[in-house]
């Protein structure tokens, strides 16, 4: 995606936030804590790579962000353009909406944007950076679920007392740094909740990025289908032969590694 378009989208996003702030919308700005581990210990919420692969049932859920009957969106966008890396506010967390202590509903509208910049990020890194399991499996009492066009998070009763969006942002920063280390040079996070109209406006603002990602993904699927001679019209995520296809893919990946 062209750098000029990315800058235009981010400009529109920041201008929109300023406009909504002037209208009285609640906007909170946080910075990444210098010592995230100290914050996690203080809040008594464990954060560690791949250590919290838990299922949170509906009856165990104290707060649901997004979901089937709520508006939601998510965007994780990694990029390697140096100019754009300098353009984002590194280690900044912006929340438009309410902090968890002020939320009385059991389920709310929710959106999340994670921008990740690093000059060494390659095309091969793209899918790894965009995996929600990295976040979902790394935070105690926190689960992310996704289906086409829907995204939601479940927060369990055991952590809700100390959970905040400041914590969530810091946990995401920490997990990405742990996984990708020196690949990340700049990272910024936006959270949106409570305001349905803001969710709609955010979706419109970032629509061109999502269109680009979807086109990129569809092209990848088509190339993969051609490679394994797949004639099915449905998407991979609902394919009944997904497991067998994955095993074939692993064989091809290993063959490519050996042939290098």
CA 97 to chain centroid: 18
pLDDT at 39 over 60: yes
Neighbour-count burial for 213-247, b at 16+ CB within 10 Å, e otherwise:
beeeeeeeeeeebeeeebeeeeebeeeeeeeebee
- What backbone phi and psi angles, to 5 degrees, belong to 133? -60, -30
pLDDT at 194 over 80: yes
The pLDDT of residue 190? 98
- Say if CB 121 and CB 70 are below 8 A apart: no
Q: What is the reported pTM?
A: 0.83
pLDDT, tens only, 118-154: 989 988 888 889 889 999 999 999 999 987 778 899 9
Average pLDDT in the 200-213 region?
Answer: 90
Average pLDDT in the 211-223 region?
Answer: 71
Residue, of 256 and 127, whose pLDDT is higher: 127
pLDDT at 260 over 70: no
What is residue 88's DSSP assignment?
S
pLDDT, tens only, 45-59: 999 999 999 899 999
Residue, of 9 and 242, whose pLDDT is higher: 9
- Say if CB 175 and CB 49 are below 8 A apart: yes
Q: Which of 24, 27, 46 is nearest to 37 (CA)?
A: 46
Residues 94, 129: Cα–Cα separation, whole Å: 20
Residue, of 96 and 5, whose pLDDT is higher: 96
For tokens 């190339």, name the residue: 223
In the chain the domains, ranked by start, together with CATH numbers, are 3-205 (3.30.1650.10), 215-259 (no CATH)
Residues 125, 183: Cα–Cα separation, whole Å: 10
Q: Are strands 92-96 and 142-147 parallel, antiparallel or unpaired?
A: unpaired
Residues 6, 81: Cα–Cα separation, whole Å: 10
Q: Which helix (H) or strand (E) holds 12?
A: helix 3-22
Residue count of the chain, please give it. Answer: 260
Please give the mean pLDDT across all residues of the chain.
Answer: 87
- pLDDT band with cut points at 50, 70 and 90 for residue 252: low
Average pLDDT in the 22-49 region?
Answer: 96
Residue, of 48 and 246, whose pLDDT is higher: 48
pLDDT-above-90 percentage for the chain = 64
Residue, of 241 and 89, whose pLDDT is higher: 89
What is residue 159's DSSP assignment?
T
């Amino acid at each position: 995606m062209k750098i000029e378009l990315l800058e235009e989208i981010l400009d529109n996003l920041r201008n929109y936030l300023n406009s909504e702030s002037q209208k009285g919308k609640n906007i909170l700005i946080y910075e990444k804590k210098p010592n995230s581990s100290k914050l996690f210990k203080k809040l008594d919420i464990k954060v560690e790579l791949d250590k919290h692969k838990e299922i949170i049932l509906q009856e165990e859920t104290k707060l649901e962000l997004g979901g089937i009957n709520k508006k939601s969106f998510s965007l994780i966008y990694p990029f390697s353009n140096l100019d754009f890396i300098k353009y984002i506010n590194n280690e900044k967390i912006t929340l438009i909406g309410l902090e968890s202590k002020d939320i009385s509903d059991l389920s709310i509208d929710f959106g999340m944007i994670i921008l990740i910049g690093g000059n060494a990020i390659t095309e091969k890194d793209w899918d790894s950076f965009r995996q929600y399991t990295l976040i979902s499996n790394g935070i105690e009492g926190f689960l992310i679920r996704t289906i086409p066009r829907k995204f939601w998070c479940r927060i369990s009763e055991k952590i809700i007392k100390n959970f905040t969006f400041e914590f969530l942002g810091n946990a995401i920063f920490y997990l990405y740094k742990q996984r990708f280390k020196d690949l990340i040079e700049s990272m910024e996070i936006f959270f949106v909740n409570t305001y349905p109209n803001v969710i709609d406006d955010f979706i419109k603002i970032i629509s061109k990025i999502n269109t680009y990602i979807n086109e990129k993904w569809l092209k990848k699927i088509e190339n993969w289908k051609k490679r394994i001679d797949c004639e099915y019209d449905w998407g991979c995520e609902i394919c009944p032969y997904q497991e067998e296809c994955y095993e074939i893919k692993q064989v091809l990946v290993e063959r490519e590694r050996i042939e290098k």
